[in-house]
């Protein structure tokens, strides 16, 4: 019988993880398998982009950003989809800032927020700054924004979120553009946390959070992003940025679409072919998912 050595097994797992990270960091080097040169923030389009993906990222998450670039984000044309990684750089070391500047010169897909520091307590301010940047950027004018939030990247999403871009865009184009739209996986039962990292000591509206779309990924129409950007200085803010967005939009007469195809909770609800947004995915997962859905693009 072969004896299993826990320390050896742990070392092998760490080695495998390092190989995956190096693979994704180096994918776009000369001679690499995929050349990522879309530079989505460095082009102008004559008509509004259908979907812009707002991806919240951290300064050191290079492997995660590279995984997004070579998986779902590379399937785009400027009139259908563009994306950007939003990173706070206030208080960063000169070395980290220089690394990000060099990365952005290469890919032109980073938005460096000079007044935002990278900490959990600043996440809501970071989201507000990102939405304000999108609303005021002269060459974007997207019809919808997909947001994805951080864990460890308007679609609002994280840099560990996988998005089936073309399917989402096709569904957005099929709906009436005239109505304000808030689309994601909603939770209206979450009790207010009074301790720990997510504690909200200043929440006094009710015993539960107001319904909000979970932050692994959700979609906002452009007018809602403009509303948030305009009214931002007057808003109350909370530690949880997604709770904050739900509160800010709660009094508005808008279309809220709860969709179980957004697998955006703190852990996956399982494996379904119907999912169009998947959260908590590693760089290796991103590449595997790209291969599985490539026939759809």
Residue 246 lies in a domain: yes
Asked whether the predicted pLDDT for residue 234 surpasses 90, the reply is yes
Which of 283, 293, 51, 50 minimizes the C-alpha distance to 161?
Answer: 283
Q: How many separate domains does the chain show?
A: 1
Indicate the average pLDDT of the chain: 77
What pLDDT score does 247 carry?
A: 95
Residue 228 lies in a domain: yes
What pLDDT score does 168 carry?
A: 86
Residue 179 lies in a domain: yes
Residue 269: which CATH number?
3.90.550.10
| Ranges 57-61, 207-211, 249-253, 281-285: which has the least confidence | 281-285
- At 144-184, the pLDDT tens digits run 998 875 433 344 454 456 677 888 888 899 988 778 999 99
Q: How many CB atoms lie within 10 A of CB 136?
A: 10
> How would residue 224 be classed by pLDDT, with cut points 50, 70 and 90?
very high
What pLDDT score does 286 carry?
A: 52
Residue 37 lies in a domain: no
What pLDDT score does 212 carry?
A: 93
How far from 256 is each of 159, 205, 212, 218, 253, CA to CA, in Å? Answer: 24, 21, 9, 11, 9
Residue 50 lies in a domain: yes
- At 118-136, the pLDDT tens digits run 888 888 999 999 999 999 9
Residue 38 lies in a domain: no
Asked whether the predicted pLDDT for residue 50 surpasses 50, the reply is yes
Distance (Å, whole) CA 12 – CA 23 = 16
Asked whether the predicted pLDDT for residue 55 surpasses 70, the reply is yes
E-assigned strand segments in 89-197: 110-113, 144-148, 156-158, 162-163, 181-184, 186-187
Range of the domain at 63: 43-296
Residue 175 lies in a domain: yes
Distance (Å, whole) CA 233 – CA 212 = 20
Residue 66 lies in a domain: yes
């Amino acid at each position: 019988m072969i004896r299993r050595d826990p320390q050896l097994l742990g070392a092998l797992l760490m080695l495998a993880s390092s190989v995956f990270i190096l693979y994704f960091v180096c994918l776009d080097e000369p001679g690499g398998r995929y050349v990522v040169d879309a530079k989505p923030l460095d082009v102008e389009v004559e008509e509004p982009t259908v979907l812009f993906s707002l991806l919240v990222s951290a300064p050191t998450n290079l492997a995660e950003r590279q995984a997004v670039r070579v998986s779902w984000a590379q399937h785009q044309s400027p009139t259908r989809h563009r994306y950007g990684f939003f990173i706070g750089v206030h208080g960063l070391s000169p070395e980290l800032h220089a690394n990000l500047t060099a990365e952005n010169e290469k890919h032109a897909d980073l938005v460096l927020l000079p007044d935002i520091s990278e900490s959990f307590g600043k996440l809501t301010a970071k989201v507000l700054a990102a939405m304000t940047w999108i609303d005021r950027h002269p060459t974007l004018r997207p019809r919808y924004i997909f947001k994805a939030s951080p864990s460890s990247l308007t679609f609002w999403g994280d840099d560990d979120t996988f998005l089936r871009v073309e399917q989402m865009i096709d569904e957005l184009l099929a709906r009436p553009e005239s109505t304000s739209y808030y689309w994601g996986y909603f939770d209206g039962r979450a009790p207010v946390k009074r301790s720990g990292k997510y504690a909200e000591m200043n929440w006094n509206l009710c015993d539960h959070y107001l319904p909000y779309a979970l932050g692994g990924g959700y979609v906002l129409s452009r007018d809602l992003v403009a509303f948030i950007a305009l009214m931002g200085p007057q808003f109350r803010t909370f530690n949880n940025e997604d709770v904050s967005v739900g509160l800010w939009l709660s009094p508005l007469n808008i279309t809220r679409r709860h969709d179980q195809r957004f697998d955006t909770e703190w852990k996956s609800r399982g494996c379904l072919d119907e999912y169009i947004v998947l959260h908590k995915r590693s760089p290796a997962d991103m590449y595997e998912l790209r291969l599985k859905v490539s026939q759809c693009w």
